[in-house]
């Protein structure tokens, strides 16, 4: 059990995160303050005690990764960036301005953001890719923390991510679900039925922890448990949307709505008028480097005599294998049709660099994006028609300025 001073530091930071979410959205005249207010307590505990990230060096290979799958709640993420000293209060207040890098949804324009999120159901699958890179390619101990919304637990892609994370035994991945009960227009399918969320995560092979998302001592214990689990962990935090302010807490009608200045003033008083000057020092990770890749060599193209018959898909497999021989950073994903796409030619040569994604095209593309975010090159293959299934992932990949094949 953490001491009183630590618990108080969590509460003080959470109050500041809520206040700053309100301040920056009120300054912008738009945005989502209440979707972040529900998340403030667990973010405070995470940042003060468990996150390992060098904000002076976001490219450090062994940094943890923190993704907001519920990208619309980014005002609280930006408030956290302020609280760790990564951005100034003045910059926080540029939220949604035309020339600000703090857009209405986070993008990798911000150096601490791995992927553009906001199209729901994508942050967790991309995080699965980052965690796979951490465990199987980088072979580094960093953790991947994903803040998920409860509304997005209705997206099929979230369940593709849950099953792949369990299949690949990603004990370096923690999803924190902000179960604040309210979606955009009203209550979510499951409301505050925490037992139902727990049953789902456990059914998919995750370690699930149900916790009061506003009890910092309980949250601290939940994170401690997550650090030592041997499976991917779902911290299912029961929260109130707009928590901390009487006229928003748990109340509908506040989604995506900035407070008017007079409302914000009242809200800040209710939050104890936080001074806004807390700057915490996030733990730095150990300075470790990714595992070495196979050395690069010259590309040797397979040859095909003129006039003889081959299929392009067969040549795809041959080319991928040749690329794999010449570049150690080449990986391949396939959604369980590798004997048709011929990516199995690569798989047979480089089994450790091939990730079977089963018939789950959305997570296949997102995992590729997550692995690419760690600096590797991934080719995805399936039947052309089935890529349509993952079109939103591909579209958002372009928003992330990601490289995908």
Partner 1 sequence: MALEDLAMMRSVHGSTVLYPSDAVSTVHLVKAMAETKGISYLRATREKVPTLYGADETFPIGGSKTLRSSDSDVATIIGAGITLHEALKAADTLAGEGTNVRVIDLYSVKPIDWAAIVSAVQDTKHIIVVEDHWAQGGLGDAVASILADANVPMVKFTHLCITEMPRSGTPQELLEKYGIDAHAIVAAVKAGI
- Just list the catalytic residues: 361
Distance from C-alpha of 152 to C-alpha of 148, rounded to nearest angstrom:
7
Kindly state the smallest distance separating residue 310's Cβ from partner 1, in Å. 4
Shortest CB 173 distance to partner 1, Å: 25
Contact map string, positions 51 to 90, toward partner 1, x by CB under 8 A: ----------------------------------------
Instruction: Please report whether residue 301 would count as binding partner 1 according to CB under 8 A.
Output: yes
Footprint of partner 1 on 332-351 (CB under 8 A): 340-341
- For partner 1, the binding residue among 103, 240, 318, 361 (CB under 8 A) is 318
Q: How far is the CB of 326 from partner 1 (least distance, A)?
A: 9
Tokens of 280: 């915490």
Q: Is 12 exposed, middle or buried (0-12, 13-18, 19+ CB in 10 A)?
A: middle
| Spatial distance between the Cα atoms of 395 and 391, rounded to a whole number of angstroms | 6
Q: Which residues pair with 175 in a beta bridge?
A: 146, 234
Task: Pick one of 54, 225, 276, 387: the residue that binds partner 1 (CB under 8 A).
Answer: 387
- 295: contact with partner 1 by CB under 8 A: no
Q: What DSSP state is assigned to residue 57?
A: -
Whole-number Å distance between alpha carbons of 159 and 346: 28
Q: Which is nearer to partner 1, 220 or 318 (CB)?
A: 318
Identify the sign of the CA torsion 59, 222, 188, 246.
Answer: negative
Cα–Cα distance, 129 to 136 (Å, whole number): 10
**Quick check: 312 binds partner 1 (CB under 8 A)?**
yes
Minimum separation from the CB atom of position 405 to partner 1 (A): 5
By CB under 8 A, tell whether 109 contacts partner 1: no
Among 1, 3, 307, 351, binds partner 1 (CB under 8 A): 307
User: CB under 8 A: which stretch of 86-94, 176-184, 257-265, 306-314 binds partner 1?
Assistant: 306-314
Residue 391 binding partner 1, by CB under 8 A: yes
Q: Does 309 bind partner 1 (CB under 8 A)?
A: yes
Per CB under 8 A, which region of 47-55, 110-118, 161-169, 318-326 contacts partner 1?
318-326
| 46 DSSP assignment | I
Q: Given candidates 190, 257, 327, 337, which one binds partner 1 under the rule CB under 8 A?
A: 327
Q: Quote the least distance from Cβ 396 to partner 1, whole Å.
A: 10
233's enclosing H/E stretch is strand 233-238
Shortest distance (Å) from residue 70 CB to partner 1: 24
Q: How far apart, in whole angstroms, are the C-alpha atoms of residue 149 and residue 120?
A: 8
Environment class of 284 (CB within 10 Å of its CB; exposed 0-12, middle 13-18, buried 19+):
middle
- State which residue, 154 or 394, has the beta carbon closest to partner 1: 394
Q: What three-state secondary structure class fits 231?
A: coil
The pair of structure tokens assigned to 379 is 């080719």
For residues 36 and 78, the answer to whether their CB atoms sit within 8 Å is no
Burial pattern 138-148, b for ≥16 Cβ within 10 A else e, equals bebebbbbbbb
| Chain residues in the site for partner 1 (CB under 8 A) | 299, 301-316, 318-320, 322-323, 327, 330, 340-341, 377, 379, 383-385, 387-388, 391, 394-395, 397-399, 401-405
């Amino acid at each position: 059990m953490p001491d009183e001073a630590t618990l108080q530091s969590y509460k003080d930071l959470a109050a500041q995160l809520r206040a700053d979410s309100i301040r920056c959205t009120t300054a912008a005249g738009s945005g989502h303050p209440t979707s972040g207010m529900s998340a403030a307590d667990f973010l405070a505990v995470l940042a003060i005690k468990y996150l390992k990230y060098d904000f002076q060096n976001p490219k450090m290979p062994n940094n943890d990764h923190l993704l907001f799958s519920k990208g619309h709640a980014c005002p609280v993420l930006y408030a956290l960036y302020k609280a760790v000293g990564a951005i100034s209060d003045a910059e926080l207040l540029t939220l949604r301005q035309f020339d600000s890098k703090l857009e209405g949804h986070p993008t990798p324009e911000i150096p601490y953001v791995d992927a553009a999120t906001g199209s729901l159901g994508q942050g967790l699958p991309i995080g699965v890719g980052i965690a796979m890179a951490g465990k199987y390619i980088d072979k580094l101990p960093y953790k991947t923390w994903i803040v998920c919304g409860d509304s997005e637990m209705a997206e099929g892609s979230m369940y593709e991510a849950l099953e792949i994370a369990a299949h690949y035994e990603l004990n370096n991945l923690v999803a924190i679900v902000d179960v604040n009960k309210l979606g955009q227009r009203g209550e979510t399918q499951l409301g505050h039925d925490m037992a139902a969320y727990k049953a789902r995560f456990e059914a998919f092979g995750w370690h699930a922890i149900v916790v009061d998302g506003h009890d910092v001592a309980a949250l601290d214990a939940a994170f401690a448990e997550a650090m030592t689990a041997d499976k991917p962990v779902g911290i299912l935090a029961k929260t109130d949307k707009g928590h901390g302010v009487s006229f928003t807490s748990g109340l509908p009608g506040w989604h995506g709505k900035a407070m008017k200045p007079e409302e914000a003033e009242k809200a800040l008083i209710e939050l104890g008028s936080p001074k806004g000057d807390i700057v915490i020092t996030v733990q730095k990770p150990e300075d470790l480097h990714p595992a070495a890749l196979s050395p690069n060599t010259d590309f040797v193209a397979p040859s095909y005599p003129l006039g003889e018959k081959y299929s392009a898909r067969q040549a795809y497999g041959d080319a991928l294998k040749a690329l794999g021989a010449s570049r150690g950073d080449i990986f391949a994903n396939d959604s369980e049709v590798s004997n048709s796409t011929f990516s199995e030619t690569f798989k047979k040569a480089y089994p450790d660099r091939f990730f079977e994604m089963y018939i789950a095209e959305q997570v296949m593309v997102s995992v590729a994006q997550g692995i690419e975010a760690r600096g590797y090159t991934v080719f995805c293959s399936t039947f052309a028609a089935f890529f349509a299934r993952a079109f939103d992932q591909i579209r958002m990949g372009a928003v992330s300025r990601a490289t995908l094949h």
